[in-house]
Structure 1
Amino acid sequence: MVHSWEEEEPCSKLLGRVSVFYYGVGHMLNDITSACWFTYLLVFLTDIGLSPRDAAIVMLSGQVADGFTTIFAGELIDRFGHFKIWHGAGSVLVAVSFSSVFGGCLPCKIFGTNSSAMQTASYSMFAAIFNVGWAATQVSHMSMVNCITLNPTSRVVLASCRNAFTMVANLGLYAIALAVFNIYKSTTQVGIESQYRWIAYLSIFIGCCFVGIFLFGTKEPRVNRGAQGTTNHRISWAHWFKKILYYQVALVYVVTRLVTNVSQALFAFYVIHDLQMAQSSKALVPAIIYICSFAVSVILQEFKWTGQRLKAFFTAGGILWIFSGAGILVLPSSMHGLMYLLSVTIGVANALMTVTGVSMQSILVGEDLNGCAFVYGSLSFLDKMSCGLALYVLESYQSSDRSLQCCSPIMGCLSITRYGLGLLPASCALLGSVITYTMDLDTPKLKPLAEPLLC
């Protein structure tokens, strides 16, 4: 079965800059809302009065809904195709539901009660709806990579471009948040809800603009039928479960997402409560991370890629995160300025791990396009469940009163946030590097790029 951008173009042809750009912006709505979800959801919920455990339940409900939707969406996309329809429908659901995630408790107003149980149930419901749409958009967008082109260099370039625009989306979110926090300062529950509602509205507007560009500029990958009008048989799930590389890539992808998502969710707590930095640091520190990640992602698009090079770059990112985790663990609040230097290292490490980790999925799929949506869906399921459970466990051990005791001038304040941010991502980075070393990645025959593919 052969897919193509256009019927007259061979799948192995290197993609041009415009085609790469149109594809790369297709995940912007997901990325900007995801950045808000992981960076500010737990902070928002605890600021309006929910306990850390209840806030973690809200996030876990969304992650569980996301994880199961990826499985069903992957199976249905493999059966029926129509990537852009799935992408558009998921984007609509994301746009409609996301503002409610950071809005007021509508059921509380309807039933006339403001109990913590009602608030938790309300936010969990909207979080689940949001993540259903998010998952449908993600699986359809990721599955398109292997159906757009069979050229291995172009596949890595598409992954790099998408990662670059992920950085753009995150930077956009933090620019919006920084402006809102500086302009509209409030400590009341109503004021805090208004702050985050404005962040949500502006994020949705920007993301939807880029979704429109993607749908307008991207052609639906079509199936070229044989002479008798039949297509190759769809690949069963068992085909992937028999491959050792599937389990290796799955583990690498999961630990990579744990590194990026868990660290993103805990940074706001860490810089405010552990390092006692200014409120603006909730936006500045993540912004520095994503500026560095964006720059590295753009540079990575210019490389010629082999299996060995993917492994080497992933390992380099893992080593950088290990050193960064050690720095986070011992950094005292009196030297919090060093956090900006650590942010640069973390940004580089995130880009190296994310781009190469996603590209390994393309190598796993290869030319087996009839089951690619299942691969991306199943790996995303593992990602969502593991991140949700990890954050739930970490938040469950947090105290409702986040004021820190027993702060040492050398080691700083010892908290669950510090241990989680310092040890968990670094341990995952180490595990991912070890697994990557054991992989047998085929080295593709590469052609030089026809032109720089900066996007």
Structure 2
Amino acid sequence: MTRSRRGDESPLGRCSVLYYGVGHMLNDITSACWFTYLLVFLTDIGLPPRDAAIVMLAGQVADGFTTVFAGELIDRYGRFKVWHGAGSVLVAVSFSSVFGGCLPCKILGSYSSSMRTVSYSFFAAVFNIGWAATQVSHMSMVNCITLNSTSRVVLASCRNAFTMIANLSVYAVAFVVFNINTKGSVIDVENQYRWIAYSSILIGCCFVVIFHLGTAEPRLKREAREKGHARISWTYWFNKLLYYQVAIVYVLTRLVTNVSQAFLAFYTINDLQMTQSSKALVPAVIYICSFIVSVLLQEITWNRNRVKAFYSCGGLLWMISGAGILFLPISMNYFMYVLSIVIGVANALIMVSGVSMQSFLVGDDLNGCAFVYGSLSFMDKILCGLALSVLESYQSSTEEVRNCHRPNFSFSVTRFGLGLVPAICALIGVLVTLTMKLPEPALMPLMEPLLA
């Protein structure tokens, strides 16, 4: 059981950090599959790119509104683990329906484009509702497990490390599936992604069980109410300049990672004409590097200057990577593996430091922390959904040349989506980060180093 169930300022032990870190594994595994393969899957089974964009947007909108709703209720009543467990069940049940074929189409005997779009949009929305409930409850727990700011950063770093493990699990399964079950008919495509989805759910659910057995329900909210501490109103956060700065940086960080992840498979196959297995190998290289960096970041004693410095370094690396992606010719497609290393390091730096900024923002104001995480996640989901939908809708203009001979180099929507958009977002994120005035945390290390 976690030692810091009172939410005091004592540093956390290794087991407490690890038990918390695995709590988002099911979300992370399904998210990796969602952003990397959903658009590819839908277009491979014959859904027009604009309809695929509608499915993606439906899920993101449902996710965004659920984060605000869940955040408000968690701030009022607590019960982190109840929300986490209920959301996990919803994710596990609905995710297989997203990649498992169009069930309503089979029941009604209609496989029209409209019927498939409605069906996939419905299950995408249900999946994202469960995903959002799990995410908000898990992220909000950080500030109630411990009041130690350094330990909060370590928890965020540990969660990011397990995010990398989750993604690697997906890509390992995908690599095997893509090599064993070659793509042919629509049925073959559905079978490929059905195996990936079922494997993801099985792995993720095992870690959900570990999280619930090893982590105690934080008592801080109940104790705060018993002492007469009122729940913090929304206007309290809206009057803080730091709230808007952190919101901008967090949303831009998510745009960088999610948009790049969604277009990575398209880029390797259509623009660089790499093998089918590269849809798993290239992302795997990215997440191996991210995992290594995330583990190393857990050993650092954090302060406000280091958070800003690491985010700036990650943003700079993404700008360099974006330029490389934008101008990389097909004849040098092997260089994509080098860029993958740089992207992996950059992703770890901006994600760990970007998420940690939320803990600096919340500080000791724990009775409103779920609103902070929920509102920021709402903006992230809506803007990511809109960005992906707009970019994907323009893919139709290049549909007729996807399977034809491509020149050694040509600009495409995919290149802009993977290279230019993340690079611009990273640049703006760095500029905003440099203007922040983060509070200085009490510097207290982990009780037990994770690499000991």
Task: State the TM-score bracket (shorter-chain normalisation).
Answer: over 0.9
The alpha-carbon deviation at position 228 of structure 1 amounts to 10
Alignment of 1:252-263 (within 5 A): 252-263=249-260
Alignment of 1:7-22 (within 5 A): 7=6, 11-22=8-19
* Aligned counterpart, 1:86: 83
Q: Which amino acid aligns with 1:16?
A: G
Using the TM superposition, name which of 161-170 and 181-190 deviates more: 181-190
Structure-2 separation of matches of 1:226 and 1:385: 34
Structure 2, unaligned runs of 5 or more: none
Evaluate the alpha carbon distance shift between residue 165 and residue 305 of structure 1 in structure 2; reply closer, same or farther with a 3 A threshold. Answer: same
Structure-2 separation of matches of 1:376 and 1:229: 24
Q: Is the aligned partner of 1:104 residue 2:101?
A: yes
CA contact (8 A) 2:11 2:445 kept: no
Using the TM superposition, name which of 35-44 and 230-239 deviates more: 230-239
* Aligned counterpart, 2:168: 171
* Aligned counterpart, 1:420: 417
Q: Is the aligned partner of 1:29 residue 2:26?
A: yes
Structure-1 separation of matches of 2:47 and 2:224: 62
1:239 to 220, 224, 236: 236
* Aligned counterpart, 1:355: 352
Evaluate the alpha carbon distance shift between residue 447 and residue 123 of structure 1 in structure 2; reply closer, same or farther with a 3 A threshold. Answer: same
* Aligned counterpart, 1:403: 402
Per-residue Cα deviation, 1:152-181 (whole angstroms, up to 9, x for no partner): 110010000000000000000000101111
Alignment of 1:26-425 (within 5 A): 26-223=23-220, 229-399=226-396, 400-403=399-402, 409=408, 412-425=409-422
Structure-1 separation of matches of 2:153 and 2:343: 21
How many residue pairs end up in the alignment?
449
CA contact (8 A) 2:71 2:370 kept: yes
Evaluate the alpha carbon distance shift between residue 306 and residue 193 of structure 1 in structure 2; reply closer, same or farther with a 3 A threshold. Answer: same
The alpha-carbon deviation at position 407 of structure 1 amounts to 5.2
* Aligned counterpart, 1:6: 5
TM-score when normalising by structure 1: 0.96
Structure-1 separation of matches of 2:5 and 2:70: 25
Evaluate the alpha carbon distance shift between residue 221 and residue 278 of structure 1 in structure 2; reply closer, same or farther with a 3 A threshold. Answer: same
CA contact (8 A) 1:5 1:222 kept: no
The alpha-carbon deviation at position 449 of structure 1 amounts to 3.5
Per-residue Cα deviation, 1:382-409 (whole angstroms, up to 9, x for no partner): 0000110000000111123352789554
CA contact (8 A) 1:29 1:206 kept: yes
CA contact (8 A) 1:102 1:197 kept: yes
TM-score when normalising by structure 2: 0.97
CA contact (8 A) 2:3 2:12 kept: no
The alpha-carbon deviation at position 34 of structure 1 amounts to 0.2
CA contact (8 A) 1:56 1:391 kept: yes
Structure-2 separation of matches of 1:35 and 1:21: 21
The alpha-carbon deviation at position 232 of structure 1 amounts to 0.6
Percent of aligned positions that are identical: 71
Q: Which amino acid aligns with 1:5?
A: S
**3-state secondary structure, aligned to 1:43:** helix
CA contact (8 A) 1:4 1:147 kept: no
Using the TM superposition, name which of 186-195 and 439-448 deviates more: 439-448
Using the TM superposition, name which of 412-421 and 311-320 deviates more: 412-421
The alpha-carbon deviation at position 4 of structure 1 amounts to 8.0
Structure-2 separation of matches of 1:228 and 1:396: 49
The alpha-carbon deviation at position 298 of structure 1 amounts to 0.3
The alpha-carbon deviation at position 333 of structure 1 amounts to 0.4
Structure-1 separation of matches of 2:95 and 2:15: 30
Q: Which amino acid aligns with 2:169?
A: G
**3-state secondary structure, aligned to 2:395:** coil
**3-state secondary structure, aligned to 2:229:** coil
Per-residue Cα deviation, 1:123-161 (whole angstroms, up to 9, x for no partner): 000000000000000000000000000111100100000
Structure 1, unaligned runs of 5 or more: none
Q: Which amino acid aligns with 1:414?
A: F
The alpha-carbon deviation at position 237 of structure 1 amounts to 0.4
Compute the RMSD of aligned alpha carbons: 1.7
Evaluate the alpha carbon distance shift between residue 247 and residue 183 of structure 1 in structure 2; reply closer, same or farther with a 3 A threshold. Answer: same
Structure-2 separation of matches of 1:311 and 1:248: 12
Evaluate the alpha carbon distance shift between residue 388 and residue 229 of structure 1 in structure 2; reply closer, same or farther with a 3 A threshold. Answer: closer
